Structure 1
C-alpha cells in the first residue's frame, strides 16, 4: 500500500495531509491503515482523558493509584512510538534529540 505524508499534532489529536497552523508538529509517512491505527490510538487517549477528568472530581482516589491515568500514560506513549516508527527522517531525528517515542529498550 502506498505511503503518503501526514502532519500530526498530539495535543489536538489531529492528522492531516495539509500542513497548516500547528498541525506540523510531527511529519509521518504512512499508509491508510497506519493512519487508521493512529486515529484509533488517539480515540483511546480521548476516552482515557475523560476517565482522568472524572477521577479528578473524586478526592479520595489518589493519582498514583489510578487506572485511568495509567491507561492514559500508556496510550500516549504508544502513540508517540507509533509516530516515531512512521516519522520522516527529520522528525525522527528531532524526536531522538528530545528523547521522545523510542521504546525503552532502544534508549
Structure 2
C-alpha cells in the first residue's frame, strides 16, 4: 500500500464512503489518500445537488425536457466518479467497471 493511502468502501448509489467494510453495503473497495477522498466526496455532493435541481426542474411544466443540463451534469460527474474508482480500486472494482462498460475508454495504468 502506498504511503498515506487508506482503504475505503464505496457505495455509489447513495454516495457513501466508509473505512469499515461492515458499516453498510458497498460496491467498490479502493485505496485513496485524504485528498482523493475529498475529491470523491465533492463529486458525490455535485451529483446530489444536480439531482435536486433536476427534481425542481421536473416540476416546472413549461420547461422542455430536451434542455436538461442537470441530467447532463449528473452524467458527467458520474463518469468522473467511476474513472476515479477505477483508478483507485482493487482488481474486483476494475473488473466490474470494465465488464459493465461504465467507462467507455479506460487508460490502463501500470
TM-score range, shorter chain: 0.7 to 0.9
Paired position in structure 2 for 1:38: 40
Structure 1: gaps (5+ residues): none
TM-score by length of 2: 0.85
| Greater fraction of residues in helix | 1
Structure 2: gaps (5+ residues): none
SS at match of 1:28: strand
1:29 corresponds to 2:31 = yes
Paired position in structure 1 for 2:89: 87
Q: Distance in 2 between matches of 1:72 and 1:97?
A: 22
CA contact (8 A) 1:6 1:16 kept: yes
Structure 1 stretches of 4+ moved >3 Å: 104-107
Q: Distance in 2 between matches of 1:85 and 1:34?
A: 11
